């Protein structure tokens, strides 16, 4: 109890414990919103309501009737397909045939000359084992029902990672006495060995249980609230398409409880593995390095290796099979072990029990028997060699290198940038709000798109002649062609008036990138980039105050202006890294989407940019757009650096950055347009500034004003760091 109190008395840890379940539910909804917080809610709720309505209607029918009714409601075929109702109905209808097929397949293969000749082959044995194991399905009655809630819950893998974080957080807390040099004191106490270790074991189990329940209750509850389907939990688990090969004869509800129980055990196992590594090795940092290395390697094997291939064993006998236990618990999987098919689920289960037992004994023994001090540091020699090797490089680093090293390693920016790289890859860059329904027109457009010249005229003339020769199909084609001709004329006229080259382009494609309806998307991406700039720049000056090295630095000959310049250079580099993670990626994606040829198109040809005051090509416009976005991020970095120079920990700098920059950005994002005047977000999103610009100076005056603010703040920081001495922070905490 006292150990638990100690663990929870750390405010930061307690905050993280509390935030994990909340964050999990938030991320769950965020994933449903597809990054569009503003209008995404409406889409999500409409979609969920439509699904519930459809599920109520079709799930009351027999699968055949339901499929026929769905066929009749053909206009929503796409929706029914994406919401899996159609797949579920087809699965129920075809399930008996599927099972019969497995049996038939086994018998056919046994008879066939290819497999029948080699009864020792893995394939032959696997087919026979599958047939034997599938006997478990005899008599199972599958029922058509609404499965989307359970499928959505199981498909949300981020919750598993957050759960892993809670486990790591707990195990880290066990080693605080070692970190603070208190382990000898703790071990000298009467209850400081076995009893403490048993308490920690109980805490680990408790945390695993509580977080399994909290995280999954939050996500599953939200999923049921959206899509319904709680009344169908009594059906056999095989009623769900994703579980058609699950050999457990249980209901969906029972499977959920089994899954949660399995998760608790997996959490304990993962905790024990980390605990064992951390207590076995003397060097904590090295232990973490090994843990990170193992996690990265295991994750790569888990995600990259094909389970059916020779190295499939590394995919399934993997730590992440215990982090994401959904697949082995829901699917019938065999792997190839010395040409024999071995069931993945039973193997993982036995391994889980064996590892938990062995590791429990191991950590208890280490806690009781192993002396914390004076042990041989087995890997210490290697660490020393590594440090010596790194020191060779570090010794040669200049101030900029050292500042970058400090910022990335001690400030932790490298972690934030890695997360930014990951999240940046999951952002959407173009919307789907604008859609062209006229497919004939689209066909004409795709053929005629490009600069409007003699070739365009020749193409139109040819199309017109073709239509004249084929009266019977002229109806829809006539309208589409006329629309194209009108657009060509209009483009020519506008181009002649404003003095640019006319082009025929797909306006919808451009609107989905720059149109007003996609602005929430650009604002969201800007918020993500802004958040990472704040996170990575926050330690810039605060790291010196936190480590107490500020006075030492300032007393050195090059410890003032040169350090200031180096820090700002590092800040700029970090901003550029965030920009690359989010916007360079977007730029390249946009170039790929639109094609190299369109880069030469004058932007006035696009309806979205028709009133843009300066004639320029699309490629030039993109350069301007992304440079301005970088400038916007840079301004945010300057403001964060100012906060960092005024407080003594990076957490405070981050908090201030979030309160000032992110809060105003969030207000603007949620439609409070007035907030745009005091938020840096329009400078990062930029699109709406450029699209609605009617005078060339407007945007630049706006940017100049923000840059002036950034310069003023930097001058203030410069004065304090270089000229003045001993400034007090302004955020007492």
CB of 543 to other proteins, least distance (A): 8
- CA–CA dist 230, 228 (Å, integer): 6
DSSP string, 640-665: HHHHHHHSSSHHHHHHHHIIIIIHHH
Residues 588-617 touching other proteins, rule: CB under 8 A, are none
Q: Is 388 exposed, middle or buried (0-12, 13-18, 19+ CB in 10 A)?
A: exposed
- Do 159 and 326 meet the contact criterion of CB atoms below 8 Å apart? no
Show Cβ contacts of residue 425 under 8 Å, excluding neighbours closer than 6 positions. 585
Task: Give the x/- contact pattern for other proteins in 381-400, rule: CB under 8 A.
Answer: ---x--xx-xx--xx-xxx-
- Do 636 and 530 meet the contact criterion of CB atoms below 8 Å apart? yes
CB of 532 to other proteins, least distance (A): 23
CB of 401 to other proteins, least distance (A): 9
- CA–CA dist 541, 472 (Å, integer): 76
Q: Which of 478, 466, 396 is nearest to 438 (CA)?
A: 478
Nearest to other proteins of 327, 403 (CB atom)? 403
Nearest to other proteins of 322, 541 (CB atom)? 541
Nearest to other proteins of 156, 541 (CB atom)? 541
Nearest to other proteins of 76, 398 (CB atom)? 398
CB of 372 to other proteins, least distance (A): 14
Nearest to other proteins of 183, 351 (CB atom)? 183
Q: Which of 402, 459, 477, 718 binds other proteins (CB under 8 A)?
A: 402
Size of the site for other proteins (CB under 8 A): 35
Q: Which of 587, 449, 458 is nearest to 508 (CA)?
A: 449
- CA–CA dist 692, 522 (Å, integer): 15
Tokens of 420: 């930014």
Nearest to other proteins of 387, 455 (CB atom)? 387
Task: Give the x/- contact pattern for other proteins in 713-732, rule: CB under 8 A.
Answer: -----------xxx------
CB of 562 to other proteins, least distance (A): 8
- Stretch binding other proteins (CB under 8 A), from 125-133, 467-475, 549-557, 665-673: 549-557
Residues 696-715 touching other proteins, rule: CB under 8 A, are none
Nearest to other proteins of 39, 720 (CB atom)? 720
CB of 540 to other proteins, least distance (A): 15
- Do 460 and 488 meet the contact criterion of CB atoms below 8 Å apart? yes
DSSP string, 204-269: HHHHHHHHHHHHHHHHHHHHHHHH--GGGTTSBGGGSGGGTT-----BHHHHHHHHHHHHHHHHHH
Nearest to other proteins of 122, 410 (CB atom)? 410
Nearest to other proteins of 563, 653 (CB atom)? 563
CB of 539 to other proteins, least distance (A): 12
**What crossing angle do the helices spanning 561-579 and 618-646 adopt, rounded to 10°?**
130
CB of 552 to other proteins, least distance (A): 6
- Stretch binding other proteins (CB under 8 A), from 55-63, 297-305, 508-516, 541-549: 541-549
- CA–CA dist 675, 677 (Å, integer): 5
CB of 549 to other proteins, least distance (A): 4
Nearest to other proteins of 370, 558 (CB atom)? 558
Does residue 361 belong to the site contacting other proteins (CB under 8 A)? Answer: no
Angle (CA) 4 8 9, round 5°: 115
- Stretch binding other proteins (CB under 8 A), from 62-70, 148-156, 346-354, 547-555: 547-555
Nearest to other proteins of 14, 384 (CB atom)? 384
CB of 405 to other proteins, least distance (A): 8
Q: Is 450 exposed, middle or buried (0-12, 13-18, 19+ CB in 10 A)?
A: middle
- CA–CA dist 487, 482 (Å, integer): 9
Q: Which of 129, 187, 150, 191 is nearest to 2 (CA)?
A: 191
Which helix (H) or strand (E) is 362 found in, with range?
A: helix 344-369
CB of 545 to other proteins, least distance (A): 9
Q: Are strands 450-451 and 503-504 parallel, antiparallel or unpaired?
A: antiparallel
Nearest to other proteins of 333, 566 (CB atom)? 566
Q: Which of 9, 188, 285, 437 binds other proteins (CB under 8 A)?
A: 285
**Phi and psi angles of residue 513, each rounded to the nearest 5 degrees, phi first:** -100, -40
Residues 120-149 touching other proteins, rule: CB under 8 A, are none
- CA–CA dist 503, 622 (Å, integer): 17
Task: Give the x/- contact pattern for other proteins in 557-576, rule: CB under 8 A.
Answer: xxxxxxx-------------
- CA–CA dist 243, 239 (Å, integer): 7
CB of 364 to other proteins, least distance (A): 27
Does residue 554 belong to the site contacting other proteins (CB under 8 A)? Answer: yes
CB of 717 to other proteins, least distance (A): 16
- Do 23 and 163 meet the contact criterion of CB atoms below 8 Å apart? no
Neighbours of 510 (CB within 10 A): 22
| Range 664-689 burial, b when 16+ CB lie within 10 A, else e | bbbbbbeeeeebbeebbbbbbbbbbb
- Do 456 and 448 meet the contact criterion of CB atoms below 8 Å apart? yes
- Do 206 and 173 meet the contact criterion of CB atoms below 8 Å apart? no
Nearest to other proteins of 194, 385 (CB atom)? 385
Residues 646-705 touching other proteins, rule: CB under 8 A, are none
Q: Which of 185, 553, 659, 705 binds other proteins (CB under 8 A)?
A: 553
Does residue 556 belong to the site contacting other proteins (CB under 8 A)? Answer: yes
Does residue 1 belong to the site contacting other proteins (CB under 8 A)? Answer: no
Residues in the chain: 733
Nearest to other proteins of 280, 410 (CB atom)? 410
Nearest to other proteins of 190, 726 (CB atom)? 726
- CA–CA dist 326, 552 (Å, integer): 54
Residues 404-433 touching other proteins, rule: CB under 8 A, are 406, 409-410
CB of 288 to other proteins, least distance (A): 12
Nearest to other proteins of 547, 692 (CB atom)? 547
292: left (phi over 0), alpha (psi -120 to 50) or beta: alpha
- CA–CA dist 87, 82 (Å, integer): 9
Residues 487-506 touching other proteins, rule: CB under 8 A, are none
CB of 536 to other proteins, least distance (A): 18
The DSSP secondary-structure symbol of 339 reads: T
Q: Which of 300, 473, 552, 659 binds other proteins (CB under 8 A)?
A: 552
CB of 414 to other proteins, least distance (A): 12
Does residue 439 belong to the site contacting other proteins (CB under 8 A)? Answer: no
Nearest to other proteins of 494, 727 (CB atom)? 727
CB of 689 to other proteins, least distance (A): 42
Nearest to other proteins of 209, 399 (CB atom)? 399
Contact positions toward other proteins, by CB under 8 A?
285, 384, 387-388, 390-391, 394-395, 397-399, 402, 406, 409-410, 547-563, 724-726
């Amino acid at each position: 109890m006292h150990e638990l109190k100690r663990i929870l008395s750390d405010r930061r840890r307690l905050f993280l414990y509390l935030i994990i379940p909340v964050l999990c539910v938030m991320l769950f909804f965020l994933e449903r919103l597809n990054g569009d917080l503003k209008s995404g809610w409406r889409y999500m709720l409409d979609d969920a309501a439509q699904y519930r309505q459809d599920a109520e209607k079709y799930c009351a029918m027999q699968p055949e009737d339901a499929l026929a009714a769905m066929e009749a409601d053909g206009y929503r075929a796409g929706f029914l397909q994406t919401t899996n109702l159609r797949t579920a109905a087809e699965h129920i209808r075809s399930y008996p045939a599927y099972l019969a097929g497995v049996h038939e397949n086994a018998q056919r293969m046994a008879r066939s000359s290819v497999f029948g000749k080699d009864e020792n082959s893995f394939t032959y044995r696997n087919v026979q084992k599958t047939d034997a194991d599938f006997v478990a399905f005899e008599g199972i009655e599958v029922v058509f029902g609404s499965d989307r809630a359970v499928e959505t819950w199981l498909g949300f893998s981020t919750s598993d990672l957050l759960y892993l974080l809670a486990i790591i957080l707990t195990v880290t807390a066990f080693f605080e006495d070692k970190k603070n040099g208190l382990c000898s004191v703790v071990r000298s106490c009467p209850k400081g060995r076995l009893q403490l270790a048993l308490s920690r074991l109980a805490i680990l189990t408790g945390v695993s249980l509580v977080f399994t329940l909290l995280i999954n209750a939050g996500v599953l509850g939200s999923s049921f609230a959206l899509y319904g389907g709680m009344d169908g939990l009594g059906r056999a688990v095989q009623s769900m398409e994703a579980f058609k090969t699950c050999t457990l004869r249980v209901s969906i509800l029972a499977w959920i409880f089994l899954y949660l129980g399995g998760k608790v055990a997996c959490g304990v196992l993962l905790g024990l593995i980390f605990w064992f590594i951390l207590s076995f090795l003397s060097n904590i940092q090295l232990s973490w390095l090994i843990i990170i290395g193992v996690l990265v390697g295991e994750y790569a094997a888990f995600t990259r290796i094909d389970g059916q291939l020779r190295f499939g064993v590394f995919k399934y006998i993997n730590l992440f099979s215990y982090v994401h236990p959904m697949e082995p618990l829901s699917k019938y999987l065999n792997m190839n072990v010395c040409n024999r098919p071995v069931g993945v689920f039973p193997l993982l289960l036995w391994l889980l029990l064996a590892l938990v037992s062995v590791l429990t004994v191991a950590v208890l023994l280490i806690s009781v028997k192993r002396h914390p001090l004076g042990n041989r540091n087995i890997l210490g020699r290697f660490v020393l060699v590594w440090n010596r090797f790194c020191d060779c490089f570090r010794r040669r680093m200049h101030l900029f290198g050292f500042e970058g090293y400090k910022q990335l390693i001690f400030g932790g920016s490298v972690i934030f940038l890695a997360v930014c790289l990951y999240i940046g890859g999951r952002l959407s860059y173009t919307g789907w709000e604008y859609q062209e329904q006229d497919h004939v027109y689209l066909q004409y457009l795709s053929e005629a798109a490009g600069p409007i010249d003699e070739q365009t005229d020749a193409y139109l003339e040819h199309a017109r002649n073709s239509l004249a020769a084929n009266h019977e199909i002229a109806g829809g084609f006539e309208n589409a062609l006329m629309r194209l001709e009108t657009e060509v004329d209009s483009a020519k006229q506008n181009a002649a008036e404003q003095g640019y080259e006319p082009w025929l382009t797909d306006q919808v494609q451009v609107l989905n990138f720059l149109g007003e309806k996609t602005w929430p998307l650009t604002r969201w991406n800007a918020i993500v980039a802004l958040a990472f700039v704040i996170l990575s720049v926050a330690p810039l000056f605060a790291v010196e105050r936190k480590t107490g090295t500020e006075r030492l630095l300032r007393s050195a000959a090059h410890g003032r202006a040169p350090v200031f310049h180096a820090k700002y250079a590092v800040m700029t580099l970090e901003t550029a890294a965030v920009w690359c993670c989010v916007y360079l990626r977007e730029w390249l994606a946009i170039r790929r989407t639109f094609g190299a040829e369109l880069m030469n198109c004058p932007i006035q040809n696009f309806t979205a940019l028709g009133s843009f005051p300066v004639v320029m090509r699309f490629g030039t416009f993109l350069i301007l757009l992304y440079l301005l976005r970088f400038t916007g991020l840079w301004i945010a970095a300057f403001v964060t650096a100012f906060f960092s120079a005024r407080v003594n920990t990076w957490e405070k700098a981050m908090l201030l950055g979030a309160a000032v920059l992110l809060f105003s950005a969030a207000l603007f994002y949620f439609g409070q347009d007035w907030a745009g005047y005091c938020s840096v977000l329009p400078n990062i999103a930029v699109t709406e500034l450029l699209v609605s610009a009617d005078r060339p100076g407007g945007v630049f005056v706006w940017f100049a004003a923000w840059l002036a603010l950034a310069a003023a703040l930097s001058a203030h920081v410069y004065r304090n760091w270089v000229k003045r001495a001993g400034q007090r922070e302004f955020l007492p905490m």
